[in-house]
Amino acid sequence: MGEWMAFDFIIVGAGSAGSVLAARLSEAADTSVLLLEAGPEDSNLWIHIPIGVAKTIRDGSVNWLYSTEPDAATGNRAIPLPRGKVLGGSSSINGHVVTRGQPEDYDSWAAEGNAGWDYESLLPYFRKSEDAIGFKDPVRGHGGPMTVKRSQGLDELTGLLIEAAGQRGIPYNPDPNSRNVEGIGHTQRAVRGGRRVSAARGYLKHARKRPNLTVVTNARARRILFEGRRATGIEYVVGDQVHTAHANREVILASGAIGTPQLLELSGVGQAKRLKDLGIEVVRDLPGVGENLHDHYLARGAWELTQPISMNERSRGLPLLGQVLKYAFTREGLLANAIAHMIIFTRSTPQVERPDLEVTLTPFTATKATDFKSLDKTPGVFMSCVPLRPKSRGHVHIRSADFNDKPIIQPNYLHHEADQQATVAGLRLIRSLLTAPAFDHCRGDELWPTSDKQSDAELLQYARETGLTIHHVVGSCRMGPADAAEANVVGADLRVHGLDGLRVVDASIMPSIISGHTNFPTIAMAEKAADMIRAANKNHSGQ
C-alpha cells in the first residue's frame, strides 16, 4: 500500500458492522473505502462449519481471547470473553443464533433522546439484511445477504422440551423473531448451504470485487489521527510496518464494545484524567468512553438422560461418522446446526411486563471438560438461562498507552440484585422444565447444579462460581444526547460528541442491551448507519 494513501471513508474493524458499512458505502463507484481488520482472512475451516464454534471459541488465531478482571461477585474468576479477530469479526466465531430482541428495546432508545432508533425505524433494515427461509411474517425479510433458517436435528429431544414447556404454561412460538417473542421456539441460524453466513460472507464476498473497496487484513489500528478536533485518518500496523491512511470524509470505528473504546482512549478521547495519567495527550475529554459496559451472563443446568436422544452418543464412533457423512452429502445434520437448538423467551415473575429471561436447550453435556472439548459419554442435556435486560454496569479501559496491551474489562456481572433474582428464577425454570412429566421416561440425575442446592442463596452462589458470558458485550460508547456527554459518547447520528469526521457504528453504541442475541441487531444498525452516512455526504462526488 505504501506509507500514505487517501480514501473517502476509513472503517476500522471488519466485523458485523464494519462488513456491512464497507459493502454499502462502496456501492457508489466513485467513493473509495478502506476497511481495516486486525485479524486474518476467514480461511479457517472451523469458521465455516456451523458446529465449529466449539473450536473457534478458544482459537487465538481468530479470537482476541479476552478475559474479564477477577470479581468477587463471580467467584474471583477471570471469565473468558471471546471476540472475533478475523474477517467477519465475532459473526465468524459466534453461535450464529439469530434474534432481534423486542420492539420495546429499541423504542426505549428513542425515548432516551435517540430519534430514529425506535423499532419501526429499524424494521426496514432488519428486513433488508436477511433472507428468512420458511418464515412468512411480514416483519421478516427475503432476498437479503444474511440467510436465516430454522434449526433442525434432534426431533425427539426438542419435541420433549416443547411438551414440557407446554406443561409449564409456556406456549410454542413458531417465530420468536416476529413482534411477539414470548414462548418456546426452534432457534434460527445464520447458515446457507451448510456453511456459516458471517457478515464477511454475506456482505464482503461480492463487495470485495469492487475496485473502490480496499480490505487490509492483519492490520492493527494504533491510533486515530486528528487535526484539532477533526479526525483525519488512521495510523495502523501490518507486521512491523507502520502505515498511515487519510480520510477525506470520515473515520468510522466498528471495532466492537471492547476495541472501539480502546482505540478512542489510545487516541486521546476519553476521561481526561485517566488519559493524562497514562501519558496520553487529550484530544477530547469524554468521560463516557468505556463506561456503561454490560453483557448477558449465563448460568447452566445439566441433566443426564436415560435414553440415547442427545448429541453425546452421536459424538464418537460410527454415529459420529454418520453425522460427518450426512453433512458431507447433504450439508445438514448436527454439524450444520447452531449449538443451541431451542430457545425460550419468558418472564422471570408474573409481575414482569414483558419477557426478561432467555432459556436455551443445548442437546449435549460436557461436564468433565472445558469449552466443549469432549462430550460426556452418556446421554445428557445442557439448559442455560440468561437475564435479558441486566442492570449491572461495568467498564472497559486501556491498561497502558501501548496498543498491544489488552484492556481492563470489568462487566460487573451479578452486581445488581435484580440480575441475581432473575438468574435464580432462570435456574428454577430449568429445573421445572426438566422435571416436567414429558421427561419422566428419560430423566436421569441432575448434574449442575446438584440436587442438594435448593435455596435461592445456594443457587445464586452456584451461578456466581460457574456462570459464563454469552458474549454480548455492548454499551461502552453509549448513544445519547450531547447534553448528557458525561455519560454519552455519540449522538443519534453516531458522530462522536465534540469531534468532527468521526463516527462509531457497532454494538458499543447501544444505550441498553437488547432482549436477545446482538449480532443481527448490530447488522441492522449498520445498514441504517450506512444510509445515514450516505445522506450526510450526498453533496460529495459519488453520493
Q: What's the rounded Cα separation, in Å, for the pair 62 and 84? A: 6
- The three three-digit cell numbers of residue 260, written as one number: 472501539
Residue 272's Cα: distance from chain center in Å? 30
Q: Which residues contact 15 (CB under 8 A, 6 or more apart)?
A: 84, 88, 89, 90, 91, 199, 254, 255, 256, 506
Find residue 237's DSSP bridge partners. Answer: 220, 242
Would the pTM of this model clear 0.75, i.e. be above it? yes
| Residues that are catalytic | 472
Q: What's the rounded Cα separation, in Å, for the pair 470 and 340? A: 12
> Tell me, what DSSP letter sits at residue 136?
-
Q: What angle do CA 467, 475, 468 make, to 5 degrees?
A: 10
Q: Do the beta carbons of residue 371 and residue 58 sit within 8 Å?
A: yes
**H or E stretch including 67?**
strand 66-67
Residue 319's Cα: distance from chain center in Å? 32
* String of DSSP letters for 20-52: HHHHHHTTSTT--EEEE-SS--S--HHHHSGGG
**H or E stretch including 305?**
strand 297-305
Q: How far is CA 134 from CA 131, 148, 174, 188, 194, in A?
A: 9, 9, 11, 11, 16
Place of cell 443426564: 304
Angle between helical axes of 119-129 and 519-536 (0-180°, round to 10): 100
| Residue 258 confidence (pLDDT) | 99
| Residue 542 confidence (pLDDT) | 44
**H or E stretch including 125?**
helix 119-129
Q: Do the beta carbons of residue 511 and residue 479 sit within 8 Å?
A: yes
From the first residue on, what is the mean pLDDT of each consecutive set of 10 residues in the chain (543 residues)? Answer: 80 99 98 99 96 92 98 98 98 96 99 98 99 97 98 90 98 98 98 97 98 98 98 98 98 99 99 98 98 98 97 90 90 89 97 98 86 83 98 99 98 99 99 98 97 97 98 98 88 98 99 99 99 89 46
| Residue 189 confidence (pLDDT) | 96
Is 359 exposed, middle or buried (CB count within 10 Å of its CB: 0-12, 13-18, 19+)?
buried
Which segments of 109-228 are extended strands (E)?
130-132, 146-150, 183-186, 188-189, 191-192, 195-196, 213-216, 219-227
What would you report as the CA-atom Rg of the chain, rounded to the nearest whole angstrom? 23
Q: What's the rounded Cα separation, in Å, for the pair 216 and 237? A: 11
| Residue 369 confidence (pLDDT) | 66
| Residue 338 confidence (pLDDT) | 85
Q: What's the rounded Cα separation, in Å, for the pair 325 and 136? A: 32
> Tell me, what DSSP letter sits at residue 406?
P
Domains in the chain with CATH codes: 1-146+191-216+237-293+473-543 (3.50.50.60), 152-186+297-387+412-470 (3.30.410.40)
Find residue 291's DSSP bridge partners. Answer: 395
Q: What's the rounded Cα separation, in Å, for the pair 98 and 3? A: 41
| Residue 333 confidence (pLDDT) | 87
